[in-house]
Amino acid sequence: MTKSTTIVFILIFAILLKLEKKSWSLAAIVVMISGGLFMFTYKSTQFDALGFSFLLFASLSSGIRWTFAQLIMQKSKLGLHNPIDMIFHMQPWMILSVLPFTIGFEGRKLVEGFQMVQQLPSSIVVDMWLKISIGAFIAFAMEVSEFMVLTNTSSLTLSVAGIFKGKKKDS
């Protein structure tokens, strides 16, 4: 339910940054989509205040990220109109923001996993790296396509498309 607020944050930031014009119809569409997502997941889980806070912050951050990405790619003089350029400049900062949490929460498991991988036969390790590489390539292709959509449309359109993709996958 809380994750559905991302579209609301995208609308708010898009209006504040003058990427979208204020309109009642646009606000009504966003409210109906968010309300539908809320009703779709209502009473499906127990309420946890900490989880709610984390998800609300994640939704806010996602709204800021996609709105500023649209602003940079569509109105910037930096020459970041190519999705690959945008990813090249954005990913290091994203990695740096996630790396402390990865080390803090998963550090010991990563060391144990690395030690375990050294004991496995090389054929299993190559197979595992191939599967990881294929997944990484698919994720990269998805991000490039997201930025291509963002270059030609808006972060709001991208968010709505993501919602429909997610609901089709959930069904």
List the chain pLDDT tens, one digit each, 171 residues: 566 678 888 888 888 888 888 888 888 877 887 777 677 666 666 777 788 788 888 888 888 888 888 888 777 666 777 788 878 888 888 889 889 999 999 999 989 988 888 898 999 999 999 999 999 999 999 888 888 887 778 777 777 776 666 555 554
Distance CA 132, CA 95 (A): 18
Domain boundaries, the chain: 1-78
What pLDDT is recorded for position 127?
Answer: 94
The reported pLDDT for the residue numbered 166 is 57
Q: Which of 146, 164, 160 has its CA nearest to residue 73? A: 146
Sequence-distant (≥ 6) Cβ neighbours of residue 151 within 8 angstroms = 73, 74, 81, 83
Q: Residue 165: what pLDDT?
A: 60
Average pLDDT of the chain is 81
Helix, strand, or coil (residue 148): helix
Q: Helix axis angle, 155-170 relative to 6-16, nearest 10°?
A: 170
Q: Whole-model pTM?
A: 0.66
Q: Look at residue 53 in the predicted model and tell me its pLDDT.
A: 84
